[in-house]
Amino acid sequence: MLGDLASYDYDYPEELVALNPLAKKDQANMLVFEKNTFSHKKVYDLLKYVSKNDLLVFNNTRVMPCRLIGQRIRSSSGNIKTKVSVTLNKVIEGNLWETFCKPLKKLKEGDHIIFSKDLSSEVVSFGSGQCVMNFESGSKEFISCLEKIGHMPLPPYITKKRGPKKADFRNYQTPFADIYGSVAAPTASLHFSEDYITRLKKRNIPHCFITLHVSGGTFLPVREKKIDKHKMHSEYANVDENTALQIRKTLKKGGRVIAVGTTVMRVLESSCFVDNSCQAFKGSINTFIKPGHNFKVCSGLFTNFHLPKSTLFILVNAFIGNKHANELYQLAINRRYRLFSYGDCCLLFI
């Protein structure tokens, strides 16, 4: 049954999990699904499938180095310092953030955590396995403090196999990264080089940008056995006037809107955008795309391969159907495609 989480499970060899990106990004494998057929290509073949009547839509969010190590200071404990790992999840307001902390059980309201001489935080409250913290950076900008001491928030399936690298500050940031706000990368765009927009312009391929600040909820597992019961995390999204106009024009002339990444698709297929006749908007969305979704904007998707039982794999199932999604992933595994954030990708059309 497609409503059961078990329908979105699959097995994969652990050695296929990519721990680093390829040196030449466009050499990555790209499994294409078009007109009910599959073909094995490379990322450099992408523009063979896109015409000047289509529209490529990218996410211009920028990942913050938001994984921090600090020391808990509690006056009542005789100045015993406890090491704490803090990963920002989602901003509430100003410097007030939802965070993931380890060890969470060692914290209580009112605790102070010192990260550096410029950055500290106070524990405000707890809920849903997270800790709300108020950060204090004195005369320094919050983001400048993060840039100085933070680590890039690589997903758990990478960090459990290797430690952070300086190269991640470059590798885990897309060439379109412009607006700080994400705590995870929109990984589809990691396949492109710095000069990709120039190449699009030379080929007269229309493109535009939306913003979706990816929250840490993208890594949270679906725990409900029935996917309809899953509560989707919320994220900040922005579609400006120019992008909205380009999308409407493309749809009106019968062109294809191709989402570069599931983050883009979640924005363009959100009720905030679709139900408002594809007009510009900004605000919080919690789009959960699952089988039965009526795709009204996107007819193409360029994306990585995603974890089993994740909302992202469920999205792929919704887009091309459960049968084709399972076949897609089995083909990729059989061909030894590299999986997940630093791995290979697929190009899907409906």
d(CA 349, CA 256): 9
Q: Do residues 12 and 115 share a domain?
A: no
Domain boundary among 99, 114, 149: 149
Give the rounded percent of residues in the chain with a pLDDT score beyond 90: 93
Q: Do residues 53 and 71 share a domain?
A: no
What would the pLDDT profile of 14-33 be if each residue is shown by its tens digit? 999 999 999 999 999 999 99
Q: Which residue has the tokens 């705590």?
A: 183
Spatial contact of 105 and 78, defined as CB atoms under 8 Å apart:
no
What would the pLDDT profile of 320-341 be if each residue is shown by its tens digit? 999 999 999 999 999 999 999 9
Return the pLDDT at 136: 97
Q: At 74, which CATH number?
A: 2.40.10.240
What would the pLDDT profile of 62-111 be if each residue is shown by its tens digit? 999 999 999 998 866 556 678 999 999 999 999 999 999 999 999 999 99
d(CA 338, CA 296): 31
Report the SS3 class of residue 199: helix
Return the pLDDT at 78: 56
Which residue range forms the structural domain that includes residue 49?
Answer: 5-63+167-349
Q: Do residues 269 and 239 share a domain?
A: yes
Domain boundary among 115, 149, 183: 149
Residue 216 forms part of a structural domain: yes
Spatial contact of 155 and 310, defined as CB atoms under 8 Å apart:
no
Q: Parallel, antiparallel, or unpaired: how do β-strands 207-213 and 179-182 relate?
A: unpaired
Return the pLDDT at 163: 87
Task: List the one residue out of 246, 302, 258, 234 whose CA is nearest residue 26.
Answer: 302
Q: What is the mean pLDDT of the chain?
A: 95
Return the pLDDT at 217: 80
Task: List the one residue out of 181, 193, 212 whose CA is nearest residue 90.
Answer: 181
Residue 130 forms part of a structural domain: yes
Q: Do residues 107 and 229 share a domain?
A: no
Residue 88 forms part of a structural domain: yes
Cis geometry, peptide bond prior to residue 156 (ω within 30 degrees of 0) = no
Helix (H) or strand (E) holding 127: strand 120-127
Sheet holding 207-213, edge to edge: 37-42, 29-34, 345-349, 298-304, 257-260, 55-59, 207-213, 235-239, 281-285
Please tell me the total count of domains within the chain.
2
Task: List the one residue out of 50, 13, 32 whose CA is nearest residue 348.
Answer: 32
d(CA 248, CA 252): 6
Amino acid at 141: E
pTM of the model: 0.94
Q: Which residue has the tokens 């379109």?
A: 176
Spatial contact of 31 and 344, defined as CB atoms under 8 Å apart:
yes
d(CA 21, CA 37): 27
Residue 218: which pLDDT band, with cuts at 50, 70 and 90?
confident
Task: List the one residue out of 340, 343, 308 whose CA is nearest residue 155.
Answer: 340
d(CA 183, CA 89): 6
In whole angstroms, how far apart are CA 233 and each of 38, 145, 230?
32, 27, 9
Q: Do residues 344 and 321 share a domain?
A: yes
Return the pLDDT at 32: 98
Q: At 198, which CATH number?
A: 3.40.1780.10
Task: List the one residue out of 49, 53, 61, 43 whose CA is nearest residue 206.
Answer: 53
Q: Do residues 89 and 108 share a domain?
A: yes
Residue 155 forms part of a structural domain: no
Q: Do residues 259 and 307 share a domain?
A: yes
d(CA 151, CA 333): 31
d(CA 237, CA 210): 8
Residue 154 forms part of a structural domain: no
What would the pLDDT profile of 154-166 be if each residue is shown by its tens digit? 998 999 999 889 9
Residue 212 forms part of a structural domain: yes
Residue 97 forms part of a structural domain: yes
Q: Do residues 107 and 48 share a domain?
A: no
Return the pLDDT at 252: 98
Q: Do residues 136 and 241 share a domain?
A: no
Domain boundary among 94, 114, 149: 149
Return the pLDDT at 77: 59
What would the pLDDT profile of 108-154 be if each residue is shown by its tens digit? 999 999 999 999 999 999 998 999 999 999 999 999 999 999 999 99
Return the pLDDT at 277: 97
Q: Do residues 209 and 142 share a domain?
A: no
d(CA 175, CA 194): 5
Residue 187 forms part of a structural domain: yes
State yes or no: pLDDT of 287 exceeds 70: yes
- Name 39's bridge partners: 32
Return the pLDDT at 177: 97
Give the rounded percent of residues in the chain with a pLDDT score beyond 70: 98
Q: Do residues 242 and 334 share a domain?
A: yes
d(CA 337, CA 324): 17
Q: Do residues 12 and 99 share a domain?
A: no
